[in-house]
Homo-oligomer: A and B are copies of this chain.
Amino acid sequence: MASPNSRLQSEIDELCTTARWCYARGWVPATSGNFSVRAVDGPAERIFITPSGLDKGLVKPTDLLEVDMEGQPVAQLGTSPAKPSAETSLHLVLYRARPEARAILHVHTVWNTLLSARYESASHVPIAGYEILKGLSGVSTHEHVERVPLLQNTQDYLVLSRQMTEALAHYFDAHGVLLSRHGLYTWGQSVAEARRHLEALEFLFEVEGRRLAAGS
């Protein structure tokens, strides 16, 4: 069995692979997006997160920042003078609200941007009836309504943190959160699970986006 440290290192490697894969698909353009894992096996809880402004097509493990659960930098795997993104606070909100989560992925895609804009005045985007919903943890049938909470975008991260806390409490079984005309947050008990949720949700956003665009 892997030691806690080697498991953490392997999760960090997979997080970076996932970030570069997202970049290659056009899902984190213009240095957008951010990605983190949570380490719970050491003496204190920590998260490892991509720094602000980094081209996600180039992310490697030594670029990640280590911060504590208050968002304070602890150390850095590498030596660059990078700093945490303002969105680090949303990762922390998410990790607190979802104790089982070990990885968070945040992407800006054409289809999540379009769908979040189309549902602008709603509090969530409903998605129902598709087999691929079974890619979401705990969902075992296509006869499921996934309600993806939708928050109004703002640059006030205190407001956004509070709204996200409330949305995660209200939509207690949601697998992702949309920020309007901004992007998606999704998570999992491992990077692999978070990525499975990402693939399922983005597939569904494209299907729903194209269906609505066709007026059917």
Contacts and interface: CB of A to CB of B under 8 A. Distances in A.
A101 B77 CA distance: 33
Interface size class of A (residues with CB under 8 A): 35 or more
Contacts of A98: none
Given A181-B129, A181-B142, A110 B203 contact: yes
A209 B55 CA distance: 25
A102 to B, nearest CB: 17
A20 interface: no
Contacts of A55: 192, 196
A132 B108 contact: yes
A31 interface: yes
Contacts of A31: 135, 196
B142 A182 contact: yes
Interface string A98-141: 00000000001010011001100000000001111011000011
Interface of A: 26, 29-32, 55, 108, 110, 113-114, 117-118, 129-132, 134-135, 140-143, 153, 155, 179, 181-183, 192, 196-197, 199-200, 202-203, 206-207, 209-216
